[in-house]
Amino acid sequence: MRFLGIFFLVMGLSATAAMAEGPAPASAEQKQKSPEQQAMDQLAEAGLRQALQAIQRSGGLYPFGLIQSGETVRAVGYSGEKADAPSAEEWAQGLFMQLRKIGKEQPDIELMGLFRLHDITAENGEKVTGVWAQVDHRGVRPWVIFLPLLKNDEGKHELGDMVYYATEQPLFEKSGE
């Protein structure tokens, strides 16, 4: 069996200050959300920002996770040799299981997110690639965000409208699972 190394990298991200300029004022929508949901939004924003930066730098994205305990956010990613790396799909599945294990073994972890590229088929039958993010908090239902990367008339990608939906596949194992 291949050795899949996991590394934890303190990324200097803060749960309360997702932007370097400081936290943005709360919108009316944010004020209606629970503190857990607001924390999920902040983790998702940080992860999506990291994913888009990786795509801009390298033209692709290898799946990674973010875990949060208190104010500390850490990245979880593949750390083995590039030549030995599993496919992005295989790694995403393995990373999902690794995040579940971390959540089970470390009760101080409050939030987790998994970020990867994903393809969907649009209503017109065209394939659309985007960033897929699953974010989970111990206290509320997990959800998924899909941020499409749409080709414009010049052949360059631009961000589409985010799609949010709840999921029945939590990163945190619930009792009885």
Q: For the segment 122-158, what is each residue's pLDDT rounded down to a tens digit?
A: 888 989 999 999 999 999 999 999 999 988 888 888 9
Of the candidates 166, 163, 175, 176, the residue with the CA atom closest to the CA atom of residue 138: 175
Report residues of the chain scoring pLDDT below 70. 1-31, 175-177
- The whole-number pLDDT of residue 6 equals 28
Residues 52, 90: Cα–Cα separation, whole Å:
21
What contacts 57, CB < 8 A, 6 or more positions away?
none
Residues 139, 85: Cα–Cα separation, whole Å:
34
- The whole-number pLDDT of residue 29 equals 57
- The whole-number pLDDT of residue 59 equals 87
- The whole-number pLDDT of residue 27 equals 54
pLDDT averaged over every residue in the chain: 82
- The whole-number pLDDT of residue 104 equals 95
- The whole-number pLDDT of residue 7 equals 28
Structure tokens at 136: 């989970």
